[in-house]
């Protein structure tokens, strides 16, 4: 009788493990397709910081230390750890997508995180998170070519200054 009881317990355990695996797979699939649920009042938040060189420099350091492994050096979502995550890291250079996301939403995503992205609520100060929002915005901006000083092209008939008459040397 004991071997039959043992076999029945094993079957129940196996069925339970299979059921748990199926539930986990369904839950993981559901989580991947889930969009960021950002509260409406948070979406309306405005960045209190200006994109000054010091704020952007500080944000770049934080990004390189904490974000580039997944999001890549330029925010394309192509960092060395990116392939290990599902869902993959966001492409922060996608202008169409970034136009639809408010500063408050970006701040919320950095603050709260969502698997596989960690929360930075306790790791970064509020100002540091807002600095990251400033930097994230730069990834989707077109590159600004510095204006060159306009130098007039030489004309086809330039006036050549006349040399002063020189006295003959002895």
Neighbours of 19 (CB within 10 A): 10
Distance of alpha carbon 75 from the chain centroid:
5
In this structure, what are the phi and psi dihedrals at residue 114, rounded to the nearest 5 degrees? Answer: -165, 135
- Tell me the pLDDT tens digit for each residue of 91-127: 999 999 999 999 999 999 999 998 889 999 999 999 9
Q: Are 130 and 107 in contact (CB under 8 A)?
A: yes
Has this prediction a pTM greater than 0.85?
A: no
Q: Are 138 and 51 in contact (CB under 8 A)?
A: yes
Total residues belonging to the chain: 170
- Over residues 115-143, mean pLDDT: 94
CATH class for the domain made up of 38-139: mainly alpha
Per-residue pLDDT, 152: 52
- Tell me the pLDDT tens digit for each residue of 9-59: 888 877 887 877 767 666 555 554 567 789 999 999 999 999 999 999 999
């Amino acid at each position: 009788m004991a071997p039959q009881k043992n076999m029945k317990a094993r079957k129940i355990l196996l069925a339970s493990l299979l059921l748990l695996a199926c539930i986990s797979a369904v839950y993981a699939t559901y989580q991947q397709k889930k969009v960021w649920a950002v509260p409406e009042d948070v979406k309306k938040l405005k960045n209190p910081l200006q994109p000054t060189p010091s704020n952007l420099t500080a944000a770049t350091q934080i990004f390189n230390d904490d974000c580039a492994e997944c999001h890549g050096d330029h925010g394309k979502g192509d960092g060395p750890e990116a392939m290990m995550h599902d869902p993959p890291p966001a492409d922060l250079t996608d202008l169409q997508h970034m136009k639809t996301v408010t500063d408050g939403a970006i701040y919320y995503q950095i603050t709260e995180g969502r698997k596989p992205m960690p929360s930075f609520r306790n790791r970064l100060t509020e100002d540091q998170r807002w600095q990251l929002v400033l930097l994230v915005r730069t990834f989707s901006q077109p590159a600004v070519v510095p204006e060159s000083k306009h130098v007039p092209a030489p004309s086809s008939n330039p006036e050549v200054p006349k040399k002063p008459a020189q006295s003959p040397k002895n």
